[in-house]
Structure 1
Amino acid sequence: MPVRVAETSAPSQVSGANSGQTSLQACTLLSVGQAFTGTQNVSSLQKEEAWRVNVRIQGCDLEHGYLCGTMEALNVPMADTPVVTFWEGEIVDMKNYTFYTGKWEATPEDDIKHWTKFPSFAPLSSKVEADGGKSLDLSNCQHIFMRWKEQYFVNVGTDCGLTIAGFYYVCFSCSDGSINGFYYDPNSSPFQKLELISTNEGRSGFSFSSYELQ
């Protein structure tokens, strides 16, 4: 979801991947058509506000550590209509992507600082800090760690007063389909929290308006 900020940031080079690990097991709640609903807390020096958010998964390829979807923010104060963005995700599986981002202006210190905010990362923390997590096998982990990067606005122009310069650190629970995330952008308020739960409003998810994804 777009976040208020004055400047955009340039992405850095893509992080490396370790080809020696197995793929994550398929999770029924992380599949095409699954929808989620919740909030993103946006804090500033003046006040705190929560934007209502809907997310729908449009594509998922666990073998290659990829997923994508749409994110709809419903009550953004500066927008006349709900703001919809298209995002692409990297699944941390130690084969395609690691816990270290290596781009989007995120340093290894930024990565650790954000991952450690997820309680489920605690058992993995020492190995990640020691060797980047090369010795970890996440194939049977009950949580899936991801990064979501918004790519473009679907229904508004870039002059809407919002930006998609940053990205989300995301933790997905395979047991109940809940999602927690923290938005990172060095020019934005830190640690804006995303909280979502899965919904059973049909496998097609929420009744989004019709948009043509590019």
Structure 2
Amino acid sequence: MPVRVVDSSAPSQVSGANPSHTSPPACTLLSVGQAFSGTQNVSSLQKDEAWRVNVRIQGCDLDHGYLCGTMEALNVPMADTPWVIQVVTFWEGEIVDMKNYTFFTGKWEATVGKPFPLMVVLSIVNRSEVDTRHWTKFPSFSPLLSQVEVDGGRSLDLSNYPYIFMRWKEQYFVNVGTDCGLTIAGFYYVCFSCSDGSINGFYYDPNSSPFQKLELKITNEGRSGFSFSSYELQ
């Protein structure tokens, strides 16, 4: 949530994913009500700055590559004022499973060229330089890179991979108005560790400071949230 007010755009499903692939591993650490805490580095050329961040999973549907939750940024400075505020946003996520979503974003100003055609092999650089630069910042992506370069990763089976790759897109502000001085125009590239529940991410918005790093650890807070049968946000 870097400083710059821009309207958000709603997510849409990436086309061309392979329906034969299975879902990522069921991970008890990535489930409704689970909480995470850490920081987001929002440093710019003018100053070094990091915000405390809390995240809670409010919904998770691995079969459809979907999850959602809330993100709370603490002690965020208000634009042109001495005050600080807590900003809560609601986000929706896409799980890279090669069934519902691929490593190629294809939207949110993160794509180069047209959507990846099924019958044409392109390099990952030609497909999306933005995607390449961000995914390769995760060491856990390195073993997958060569296959992604060959066929976009469509032959990969991520069902037993110890990491889950996602994109998180903030949809709206929960407790403040759009005039709060922050933007949710961008989105996060996210890597989740199934072994310890740690989350690393990088925020992308072409109009904000690049590679703002999100680092979260799982917490032991009590769980709360909604299931897909009730849709009740708590």
> Normalising to structure 1: TM-score of the pair?
0.91
**Aligned twin of 2:118:** none
Choose from 180, 197, 204 the match for 1:177: 197
Q: 1:169-211, CA deviations, whole angstroms, 9 ceiling, x for partnerless residues?
A: 0000000000000000000100000000000122239xxxxxx
CA separation of 1:9/1:85 partners in 2, compared to 1, >3 Å: closer, same or farther? Answer: closer
* 8 A Cα contact 1:145 1:172, kept in partner: yes
**Aligned twin of 1:120:** 140
SS at match of 2:131: helix
**Aligned twin of 1:37:** 37
Gaps of 5+ in 2: 112-127, 226-231
Q: 1:50-95, CA deviations, whole angstroms, 9 ceiling, x for partnerless residues?
A: 1000000000000000000000001111164310000000000000
**Aligned twin of 1:4:** 3
Q: Does 1:189 align with 2:209?
A: yes
Matched residues in 1 for 2:23 and 2:105: separation? Answer: 19
* 8 A Cα contact 2:18 2:100, kept in partner: yes
TM-fit CA distance, 1:12 = 8.4
Matched residues in 1 for 2:217 and 2:43: separation? Answer: 21
Listed as ranges, the matches of 1:66-85 within 5 Å are 66-78=66-78, 80-85=84-89
Listed as ranges, the matches of 1:153-168 within 5 Å are 153-168=173-188
Q: Does 1:139 align with 2:139?
A: no
Q: How many residues align?
A: 207
Gaps of 5+ in 1: 206-211
Bigger mean CA offset, 104-113 vs 65-74: 104-113
TM-fit CA distance, 1:5 = 2.5
Matched residues in 1 for 2:158 and 2:84: separation? Answer: 43
Counterpart residue type for residue 23 of structure 1: S
* 8 A Cα contact 2:89 2:173, kept in partner: yes
TM-fit CA distance, 1:129 = 1.7
SS at match of 2:75: coil
* 8 A Cα contact 2:11 2:169, kept in partner: no
**Aligned twin of 1:51:** 51
Matched residues in 1 for 2:133 and 2:97: separation? Answer: 19
Which portions of structure 1, spanning 4 or more consecutive aligned residues, are displaced by more than 6 angstroms? Answer: none
Choose from 103, 106, 112 the match for 2:110: 106
> Normalising to structure 2: TM-score of the pair?
0.84
Matched residues in 1 for 2:11 and 2:109: separation? Answer: 6
Matched residues in 1 for 2:133 and 2:38: separation? Answer: 24
TM-fit CA distance, 1:8 = 5.0
Matched residues in 1 for 2:110 and 2:6: separation? Answer: 16
TM-fit CA distance, 1:6 = 5.3
Q: Does 1:203 align with 2:223?
A: yes
